[in-house]
Amino acid sequence: MKVLVAVKRVIDYNVKIRVKADNTGVETANVKMSMNPFDEIAVEEALRMKEKGLATEVIAFSAGPVQCQETIRTALAMGADRGVLVQTDAELQPLAVAKLLKAVVDKEQPGLVIVGKQAIDDDSNQTGQMLAALLGWSQGTFANKLNFADGWAEVKREVDGGLENIKIKLPAVITTDLRLCEPRYASLPNIMKAKKKPIEVLAPDALGVDVAPRIKTLKVEEPPKRKAGIKVKTVAELVDKLRNEAGVI
């Protein structure tokens, strides 16, 4: 089966973000951008499926401005076979991305879609579940481990109390959690090879998808700052402060 993975271009997780002075959003100019870390895990899992003979082809999907080609190239350098970019400068919210993904799924007919459980910019944790809903497919969210047998996937999921095992019918949508696998680094030869792999560019209109945002961002502000406190020298001093100053023990 074909496996489709979604990769989002986000501000690198190491960057300390800055809120714009006019409170319209977060500064993205001249900021290092990378693939969303959960999506790297998605790409890695799909590649391992291909290496085990479970997947025939790994297709990397992204949606957004032309620079998302770089994010797709990263996936191709890791080992994905080809890319699909739905190119638009419009603001894309999870429901719109899920609809774009559905349109590409309808075209490509993959047997599995793997996406990150959340993007580290908007922290929404929605796209995979929404895609599964739109397709009428099963969903294996927050996946910690995957196994496949007879048209079903066994998914070990990271849940509040620990882990949970479910069986879901294929085709399915998987969302990755941190412990699913450790993404590989692309080797230099593979980075060179990736330059020749095809990326198909599509437009939302051509896919018949209305991407208009349903949620309006009225303002974006800095969170209240916590003041740094004091350093204490001894455990006795700490216990005294906790008891008599903070009153928490």
Partner 1 sequence: MAILVVAAHDGKTVRANVANAVAAASQMGSDVHVLVAGSNAGDAAKSAAAIQGVAKVLQAEDAAYGNWLAEDIAPLVVKLAPNYSHIVMAADSVGKNIAPRVAALLDVAQVSEAIQVVSPDTFVRPIYAGNAMATVQSSDKIKVVTIRPTNFKAVVGSGSAAIEQIGGTGGSGLSSFVGAELSKSERPELTSAKIVISGGRGLASGENFKMLEKLADVMGAGLGASRAAVDAGYVPNDYQVGQTGKVVAPDLYIAIGISGAIQHLAGMKDSKTIVAINKDEEAPIFQVADYGIVGDLFQIVPELTAAVEKK
Ligand X SMILES: Cc1cc2nc3c(=O)[nH]c(=O)nc-3n(C[C@H](O)[C@H](O)[C@H](O)COP(=O)(O)OP(=O)(O)OC[C@H]3O[C@@H](n4cnc5c(N)ncnc54)[C@H](O)[C@@H]3O)c2cc1C
Q: How far is the CB of 241 from ligand X (least distance, A)?
A: 19
Q: What span, in angstroms and rounded, lies between the C-alpha atoms of 172 and 245? A: 54
What track of x and - describes contact with ligand X for positions 113 through 152 (by CB under 6 A)?
Answer: -------x--------------------------------
Q: How far is CA 223 from CA 19, 116, 176, 217, 229, in A?
A: 10, 26, 28, 16, 18
Binds 90: which of ligand X, partner 1, none (CB < 5-8 Å by kind): none
CB-CB contact of 188 with 182 (8 Å): no
The identity of residue 232, as a single letter, is V
13 is a site residue for ligand X (CB under 6 A): yes
Residue 149 interacting entry, from partner 1, ligand X, none, C-beta within 5 to 8 Å by type: none
Taking the complex as a whole, the smallest distance from the CB of residue 13 to ligand X amounts, in Å, to 4
Spatial separation of the C-alpha atoms in residues 137 and 20, rounded to whole Å: 40
Contact 43, 19 (CB under 8 A): no
188 binds, among partner 1, ligand X, none (CB under 5 to 8 A by kind): none
- For residues 164 and 141, is the Cβ–Cβ distance under 8 A? no
Q: How far is the CB of 8 from partner 1 (least distance, A)?
A: 14
Please pick, from the candidates 15, 37, 154, 199, the single residue that binds ligand X as defined by CB under 6 A.
Answer: 37
Q: Which residues would be at the binding site for ligand X (CB under 6 A)?
A: 13, 37, 120
